[in-house]
Structure formats: structure tokens, C-alpha cells
Amino acid sequence: MSTSQKVDILLLGAGGREHAILAKLAESPRAGKLYVAPGNGGMYGLATKVELDAEDPVAVAGWAREHAIGLVVIGPEAPLVAGVADAVRSAGIPCFGPNGEAAQMEGSKKFAKQVMARAGVPTAAYRSFTDEDECAAYVRQVGGPIVVKADGLAAGKGVIVAQTTEEALEGVHECFGGTFGDAGATVVVEEMMEGPECSLLALTDGKTLVSLATSQDHKRALDGDRGPNTGGMGVYSPVPMVTDEELATMVDIEKRVVAELAAEGITYSGCLYGGFMLTKDGPKVLEFNARFGDPETQVVLPRMKADLVDVFLACDDGTLDAGDVRWDDDWAVSVVLTSAGYPGSYEKGKVITGIEDAEAMDGVTVYHAGTRLDDEGRVLTNGGRVLDVTAVAPTFEKARELAYAACQKIDFDGKTYRSDIGLRCIQGR
Ligand code: AMP
Ligand code: GLY
């Protein structure tokens, strides 16, 4: 598959995930000119910023054709669900990321649950509702603890893990009341599962599936897994508590889902993200996402030995091979620096200092998430999750120590982070 021909690449997205993808693409000898829409303050040294609505399929495909782009890489879920990959492929341009129909694995929890049922994949028992009274009656009948989810995309916030029936009923009311917009018009009620969580990202061309290294996100805002759910506060890879048997089960589950979709006429190509709970009855699926995880990507890609341009093109043209991806033996830990107040309201525009000092440390990379550059080239905060301070080292302890030492070097008004990222890895299950 490997040729020496260079390809110009357009990457869509603006988070730490996209910065990590861009850095890995830039390492490839096959990377030609790199473009990003819209990108963030850390990405413009590697790629040219493009003014483009990344969620508009016609605009993306048109721009890519005009600029002779040889690969479009879609980072976030919204353009996938909007059908950007379909439009790019229809224009004859290779694309990394599933078409809109396949992206329903993330875009609709109901769709994903139905595919899982047909594929015989273990997941929480569920019912879905479009009527608030029926939904509330069911919740009263089953009782807490129980989980209530808005069906559509809600940026990780449309999930209420309710310990009591009252909490669950409030969640039902919140979903139907419009808190999550259209995403709440259908509500899924799920059995509550218990156990540690593990993310398993996999690359697939719709036939072959190559799983990437395991990782564990920390979704809650505060130390000790307290506080509200966020987009992710920190992550490490690999996850030593996962047994070989559990890993084999998770890979098998992902293969079955891709095969089930293929049997139904849907080619799933791109990254399939399985969110698993390691229950006492084995791994069960919490959710699927149709893209790389954020912040999981920031610890998975640095450890991956592969030419990402080749691999992404192989996912698109159906020539993915298990031998394309290998791993180094190091450990990676990433701590997310957030703006005070996140995931609630927070201020933007604070000057960030010390990123170069942090990156001068051996093994440390700082991926930008919510940042932008001002006219003088200073880096300013521009979002809730600001930076992913990532360290790679030969032992877990060393990687964790390095990541936290690097966090100390960086400063901005309102800098906030969890101090216990990866502690569970040391403490075990
Ligand atoms: P989701 O976006 O569906 O992955 O849910 C976000 C988080 O809510 C998950 O990472 C879990 O921590 C929790 N959660 C979701 N569904 C369940 C469930 N059925 N049982 C227990 N916890 C859940
Ligand atoms: N880390 C959670 C996600 O990417 O959805």
C-alpha cells in the first residue's frame, strides 16, 4: 500500500484530540501540505488555518476539491453525523471517518442499541421513549439506581446516572424539557452497570478491525470521581487492570458490531470507539462513538508506531492490515488543565505561560484544546478544557510524575486540574 507520493490533508476539528492527530500526521513522510478547520492555538505551527464551516458537507467537499486535497480527516462527531464524510467521498476524495449512516452508532443511542442487540453484544438493558409520561411511569416501575440518557448528541452531558428514583425522574423531566435541545426528544432509560471503565479505540475499513491500546478516561470534574460529568479530565494508557480475556472480549465485540453493520449494508470505516464497563460478568458496552476519543487520543497516538497517513488511507480504501500498527512499551499519562468553573460557565482570554518550559522536559508534549493566538502571537485560553499535558515514560509512575511536574510549569488565571489522574492504576480495581 505504501507509496512515497505525498498527500495534502485537511483536518476538521479544534480540540486536543485534533492536535494529537495533527502531530502524528505531520510525522509521516507522506504528509504534504496540512490544513486545519478551524484548529486551535497549538496547531497553526503545523497546519494552515482554513475558514470553513466544518459541519457543512458541501462546503468541505468543495474546498477539498478546489485545493486538490488527498485526504480529509474528520475529528469530531458533529461533521460525521452531518454527512461530511459522504460528501467528501462522493467528490472522489479519500476520507477518514464513517459516513453519516454509520456514524449513527454515536449519533443515536437507540440505533446503537438496536445494532448491538442484533449483533448479540452485551450492553445495559434499556427502553427508549418519546413520551415523558410513559417514560416517567417506567422509571417509577423499575426504580433507581437507573441511568437516563438524551438520545442524540449532547457533548457528553446528556447522561444522568441516578442513584434514586427521584433523581431519575428529574433527569427525565430535564431531557424532555429541552435542556439538551433536540437530543432530548427521545430518551433512553438504562440498567445501571458497575465496574471500572475502559475505552478501546479501533481502526477499521469496514472488514478488518485493528484495535488500538486501551485507555482510561476520568469523566468527573473533581478528585475522587466526584462532581459533574465533563468531556474528560485526564487519561492514561495502557490500562493494566484489563485482563487478556477482557481485552479479547472487547475486541470481539467491536468486530461483531462492524460485521453486523456490514451485513446490513453499512460500511463502517474510520475509528470505532468502544466505551466499556468491566462488570463482574465481563465487559459490557456503555456507548460507541464514531471517532477518536478526547482525551484518549492524546495518550494512545503518541505510543503508536504507524504511519498515520497510510493507515487512514487504508481505512478508506479497504486495505487495512493488522501489521500496519505496532506499539512501544512506554506508558502515557495526560492531565487536562481546565478553566475555573468548567463544565459550568468560565472566563476566556487569559494569557497562558510556561508551555515551552513544560515541553522542554524529556517525554512531555502539551496538546492544545481550548486555546487561540492573539495578534502578538500569545497563547490565550479559549475554552473549558484548555491544555492536555501529556507525558510518555518507561514506567507508569514516571509518566504520571512527569505529567504533573509539567502542569506546574504552566500558568494561567483560573488554571484548574484533577490531582488524582491515574491513581486508580496504582491502586488497582
Ligand atoms: P455515556 O456518554 O453513555 O458513555 O455515559 C457517560 C458516563 O455515564 C459513562 O462514562 C459512565 O460513567 C456513566 N454511565 C452511562 N451509562 C451507564 C450505565 N448503564 N451504568 C452505569 N454508568 C453509566
Ligand atoms: N473521552 C470521552 C469521549 O471522547 O467521548
* pLDDT for position 427: 75
For the domain that residue 140 is a member of, what is the CATH number? 3.30.1490.20
Q: Which domain, by its residues, includes 39?
A: 7-96
Q: Which ligand is nearest to the CA of 150?
A: 1
Question: Best substitution site from 159, 217, 300 to test ligand 2's pocket, by max atoms within 8 Å of Cβ?
Answer: 217
Same domain, 171 and 230: no
Q: What is the pTM of this model?
A: 0.94
Ligand 2 centroid – CA 234 distance (Å): 11
Sign of CA dihedral 349, 345, 217, 408: positive
**Grid cell of 286 as nine digits:** 456503555
Closest ligand 2 atom, residue 217 Cα: 1
Residue 69 has pLDDT above 70, yes or no: yes
Q: Is residue 113 part of a domain?
A: no
Average pLDDT over residues 222-242: 94
Give the C-alpha separation, 16 to 411, whole Å: 18
Is residue 2's pLDDT more than 90?
Answer: no
Ligand 1 within 6 A of CB of 188: no
Ligand nearest to the CA of 168: 1
| pLDDT 10s digits, 178-220 | 777 666 688 989 999 999 999 999 999 999 999 999 999 999 9
Taking the centre of ligand 2 as the mean of its atom positions, its distance from the CA of residue 231, in whole angstroms, is 6
Q: What is the 3 state secondary structure string of the chain?
A: CCCCCCEEEEEEECCHHHHHHHHHHHHCCCEEEEEEEECCCCCCCCCEECCCCCCCHHHHHHHHHHCCCCEEEECCHHHHHCCHHHHHHHCCCCEECCCCCCCHHHHCHHHHHHHHHHHCCCECCEEEECCHHHHHHHHHHHCCCEEEEECCCCCCCCEEEECCHHHHHHHHHHHHCCCCHHHHCCEEEEECCCCCEEEEEEEECCCCEEEEEEEEECCEEECCCEEEECCCCEEEECCCCCCHHHHHHHHHHHHHHHHHHHHCCCCCCEEEEEEEEEECCEEEEEEEECCCCCCCHHHHHHHEECCHHHHHHHHHHCCCCHHHCEECCCEEEEEEEEECCCCCCCCCCCECECHHHHHCCCCEEEEECCEEECCCCCEEECCCEEEEEEEEECCHHHHHHHHHHHHHHCECCCEECCCCCCHHHHHCC
Distance, CA of 103 to chain centre:
13
**Residue in this structure with the C-alpha cell 462513538, named with its chain if needed:** 289
Both 235 and 274 in one domain: the answer is yes
What nine digits make up the cell of 401? Answer: 510524575
The answer, yes or no, to whether any atom of ligand 1 lies below 6 A from the CB of 156, is: yes
In the numeric block, which cell numbers belong to residue 13?
476539528
Residue 230 domain-assigned (yes or no): yes
How many domains in the chain? 4
Q: Which three cell numbers stand for residue 256?
A: 461483531
Determine whether 323 is exposed, middle or buried from the number of CB atoms within 10 Å of its CB (0-12, 13-18, 19+).
exposed
Residue 393 has pLDDT above 70, yes or no: yes
Identify the pLDDT of residue 156.
54
Among 278, 301, 327, where does a domain finish?
A: 327
Residue 295 lies in a domain: yes
125 assigned to some structural domain: no
275 CA to centre of ligand 2 in angstroms? 8
What integer pLDDT is reported at residue 177 of this predicted model? 84
CB-based pocket (< 6 A), ligand 2:
156, 217, 232, 289, 293-294, 296
Statement to judge: residues 298 and 385 lie in one domain: no
If you measure from the C-alpha of residue 243 to the centroid of ligand 2, how many angstroms do you get, rounded to a whole number? 22
107 alpha carbon – ligand 1 mean position (Å): 16
Same domain for 199 and 319: yes
> Do 284 and 201 have their domain in common?
yes
Domain co-membership, 352 together with 414? yes
Chain segment 317-329, per-residue pLDDT in tens: 999 998 889 999 9
| Residue 122, in any domain of the structure | no
Q: What one-letter code names the amino acid at 18?
A: E
Distance 17 CA to ligand 2 centre (A): 10
Share of the chain above pLDDT 90, in %: 88
* 319 and 356 co-located in one domain: no
Are residue 73 and residue 168 in the same domain, yes or no?
A: no
Q: Residue 23 corresponds to which cell in the numbers above?
A: 502531530
The whole-chain average pLDDT of the chain stands at: 94
Kindly state whether residues 202 and 175 are assigned to the same domain. Answer: no
Q: Please list, in sequence order, all residues whose beta carbon lies within 8 angstroms of the beta carbon of residue 422, skipping any fewer than 6 positions away.
A: 234, 236, 333, 396, 400
- Domain closes at, from 297, 327, 357: 327
Any domain includes 120 = no
Taking residues 118-145, report their average pLDDT: 94
Looking at the domain assignment, is residue 124 inside a domain?
Answer: no
Angstrom distances, CA of residue 286 to CA of 147, 229, 371? 11, 15, 31
The answer to whether position 27 is within a domain reads yes
Residues 336 and 279 in one domain: no
The domain boundary residue, chosen from 274, 305, 327: 327
Mean pLDDT throughout 123-127? 93
